[in-house]
Chains A and B, each alone.
Chain A
């Protein structure tokens, strides 16, 4: 108020300005990240243009004679356009151990890790296409995967966690529902990659809010592991992982999701986000920022025939139902555990029958929780 008794306008104006300044752009944060993500899998350099279909791999290295990819799916199709014919080494990390490269003449080269594959190829000048696939990709029969999340600050001491996963039999691949790291720094992402080296199978991951500590729009996760929203088929089933790190889905991701849901409508379809759309404990709301959006998503998934949803973020294990869909929260990677829940570090081994369209989970406890 002024001394004249007239209402002063400075106070509300300052507050409004402060509020607007603090929150400007946050409503669209996820879409900025999704726009950046759309460029993953496309690179030009060293006389070669690389385009990974559907962005299902990060181009980690592109230098004269050498291309390195990090897939987020068991199978890849990569369009290449070389300025001149020449010999290249195509390295694929995070690959299925029995993955084969086809489309061009390829000679395998040995590498130390089962999930690290390499081929020496001769690329013609101009366009060519290579495919990465495992022989059993089309065999529609039961298979087993692993699911986990939230290794976070426990990652440096997570050796036993990864060793226990490595000891599981007949695992095709693992799905990670986010919070691999504590703050998303590059050295943490590299540490996660080193932890993975004990695994005889690849991991496909979406990001969590803890991957956004360094950057909310261009996280290191993108550079190392690729897209956080993607979908792929495997042996008659479809797997869709979606970035929910800002407690929402970006409008671009919503548009992609409709395509993926249509592709997975007729078979078993597993949907994964880091944040659960709804928390099992609603009063806590470790979930989407908007209940309205959460219900819009769940209704969309249910009507598209999604068979199972898996989430992290809550450091516990919960089996429940959302709009009639079975749902699991598995956040037992080592982040601070939920007290009084009777469960500590754990991961899920899930047997999926794509013919019967069923999924049977088993909780595997780790360390003191065993």
Chain B
């Protein structure tokens, strides 16, 4: 985790809302009239998109409002500092990694504080969903993703994934196979949970910190090349009930890391390659049933490999930014559920999976 990210998260965590940090689910939610909620929601848009926390000030939750405003300030500082650093150094390879992490996580804090203000102003934590405080032992998913890629001819992918957990260890595997093209991608990602819910040990909420390694292999048959990356990253989640009671049921995530590997074209030597990993997310827990599961998250992923790659933007900014996505996992019946998943980068990707989840509780 970068010092910047650590500082930002510490700022949020350092002053927990009364009654929120110790028992997020039982914390009191101050009532608000419908009119107040509408006014707060409007305030979270104007001027809230500029002054994050404005909705909470209108709602009378000034402590949370100040924390969101502080998060916005830290986020803006990260973005401005990172961009200024890139300008001063001309994006030198020697300094670009921490500066890019600053920009991505700064943008993440900026975005998360805006969305959290909107969520908390309107919803106020009432009826919020609950996180898994004990992680499932096994999750398996099988599904299909439709693709629109202007450059590659594939239009659909079958995807099979599984996660097995034992104590703090989680082994993730995911196989993508193009339905109409000779193209396959395999991701194997062992993770170690440093803090947060495990199968053998319940946590106080859904917050976690994972250290993960991984291997990603991707083969493009007709194009006659294949890539192999090894990666190392840290990913954390913070339940935003720790920031304020009105944010109960929402969470933020951040990730930093790097990948090293290479690509081999048929008939040519292997050439080395590297990839910066970074990302953030804002999400909501869905549902309450003790044996259920469900969440939805909007996220940014800085990866440029895989099927989606980085964003193609109007104007000057294409190339460096990664892609955006929306993922939803929702229990339907018993241990069974569905994933709905969409991403936009250099490609559109969207579809769903059937999910089986064994273990875990709220």
Contact = CB atoms under 8 A, between A and B. Distances in A.
A26 B321 CA distance: 13
A26 B328 CA distance: 24
Given A19-B298, A286-B319, A7 B347 contact: no
B6 interface: no
B310 A340 contact: no
A12 B284 contact: yes
B85 to A, nearest CB: 10
Interface in A1-16: 1-8, 11-12, 15-16
A298 B265 CA distance: 9
Given A15-B326, A292-B309, A210 B151 contact: no
A28 B286 CA distance: 35
Given A26-B312, A283-B258, A298-B265, A292 B344 contact: no
Contact of B274 (A248, A282, A324): A282
Contact of B347 (A27, A247, A295): A27
A250 interface: yes
Given A290-B345, A340-B92, A3 B314 contact: no
B97 interface: yes
Interface string B49-84: 000000000000000000000000000000000000
Interface string A237-252: 0000000011111110
Given A3-B126, A8-B123, A296-B151, A19 B314 contact: no
A284 B96 contact: yes
Contacts of A183: 316
A30 interface: yes
B110 interface: no
A335 to B, nearest CB: 8
B129 A291 contact: no
A16 B88 contact: no
Interface string B95-139: 111001000000000000001000100010111110000000000
A290 B310 contact: yes
A292 B310 contact: no
A287 B220 contact: no
Contacts of A356: none
Contacts of B152: 292-293, 296
B127 A290 contact: no
Interface in B288-330: 288, 294, 296, 298, 304-321, 324, 326, 328
Contact of B151 (A23, A282, A290, A338): A290
B258 A285 contact: no
A175 B248 CA distance: 58
Contacts of A280: 93
Given A248-B312, A283-B258, A338 B91 contact: yes
B225 interface: yes
Interface string B149-161: 0111000000000
B129 A284 contact: no
A337 B90 contact: yes
A281 interface: yes
Main SS at interface, chain A: loop
A137 interface: no
B274 A12 contact: no
Contacts of B119: 11
A329 interface: no
A295 B316 contact: no
B83 to A, nearest CB: 12
B346 A293 contact: yes
Nearest to A280: B93
Contacts of B126: 1-3
B287 A339 contact: no
A210 B316 contact: yes
Contact of A299 (B94, B127, B224, B320): B224
Contacts of B129: 1, 7
A12 B326 contact: yes
A341 interface: yes
Interface stretch (A54-62, A185-193, A264-272, A315-323): A315-323
Contact of A289 (B218, B265, B346, B348): B346
A291 B151 contact: no
Contact of B294 (A7, A288, A299, A322): A7
A7 B90 contact: no
Given A15-B298, A322-B271, A20 B344 contact: yes
A8 B286 CA distance: 8
A11 B316 contact: no
A285 B249 CA distance: 36
A18 to B, nearest CB: 9
A31 interface: yes
A275 interface: yes
B188 interface: no
A238 to B, nearest CB: 22
Nearest to B37: A3
B223 interface: yes
B342 interface: yes
A2 B316 CA distance: 41
B110 to A, nearest CB: 15
B182 interface: no
Given A11-B284, A19-B324, A336-B87, A283 B97 contact: yes
A86 to B, nearest CB: 44
Contacts of B265: 295, 298-299, 302, 323
Contacts of B90: 315-316, 336-339, 341
Interface in A294-342: 295-296, 298-299, 302-303, 313-316, 321-324, 336-341
Contacts of B321: 289
Contact of B346 (A8, A27, A254, A299): A27
A285 B94 contact: no
Interface in B182-239: 218, 220, 223-225, 227
A254 B315 CA distance: 21
B276 A283 contact: yes
B222 to A, nearest CB: 9
The 3 closest A-B CB pairs, nearest first, are: A290-B309, A247-B319, A281-B93
Interface of A: 1-8, 11-12, 15-16, 19-20, 23, 26-31, 183, 209-210, 212-213, 216, 245-251, 254, 275, 278, 280-293, 295-296, 298-299, 302-303, 313-316, 321-324, 336-341
Given A15-B298, A212-B316, A296-B225, 5 more contacts: A16-B298, A284-B96, A292-B307, A299-B225, A315-B90
13 contacts: A2-B126, A7-B286, A8-B127, A19-B326, A29-B314, A30-B150, A246-B313, A247-B346, A254-B151, A283-B274, A283-B275, A292-B218, A302-B268
